Structure 1
Amino acid sequence: MRFMIFLTGYGFAVAGGVSFIMYFNFLAAGITWTDYLSFTISRPECYLFFLGWILIILGLKE
């Protein structure tokens, strides 16, 4: 069961991390770091990164 939680968390963390990297392209388009952070906070797929890390930690906890 813990292995499945770990794998699910890993998948969420990868999906969220890819979203963060994908949105880095907005910086090249000319938005500021403040605008980037406020945009990523408002996107639900970016929350997957943090949820994934929580699940990974729970999956590894004994």
Structure 2
Amino acid sequence: MGRIFFWLFGFGLSVAGGVSIILYVNLMAAGLTFVEYVKFLAKKGNCYLFVLGLIIISLSIYYPQPKKKK
């Protein structure tokens, strides 16, 4: 049950960060280059949610379960 919670929590963070990244793509239409866009994203805290969410998802999937006692 805990794995499902952490997977969903990580998924929610990834979606929130991904939406922010997509919304900021409009800055490239305003004249920013790709390098300036990446530097801008590095300054924004909500864009780190995408990476944090991916880490939580991967940990919830690949972290071994504790062995059950008999």
TM-score range, shorter chain: over 0.9
TM-score, structure 1 normalization: 0.95
| Structure 1 segments unaligned to the other structure (5+ residues) | none
Q: CA deviation at 1:23?
A: 0.3
| 1:45 equivalent in alignment to 2:40 | no
Q: CA deviation at 1:59?
A: 1.2
Larger RCO: 1 or 2 (CA < 8 Å, sep 6+): 1
Structure 1 ranges of 4+ moved more than 6 A: none
RMSD, aligned CA: 0.7
Residue identity (%)? 45
User: Matches of 1:12 and 1:18 in 2, distance apart?
Assistant: 10
TM-score, structure 2 normalization: 0.85
Q: Name whichever structure is richer in helix by fraction.
A: 1
| Structure 2 segments unaligned to the other structure (5+ residues) | 65-70
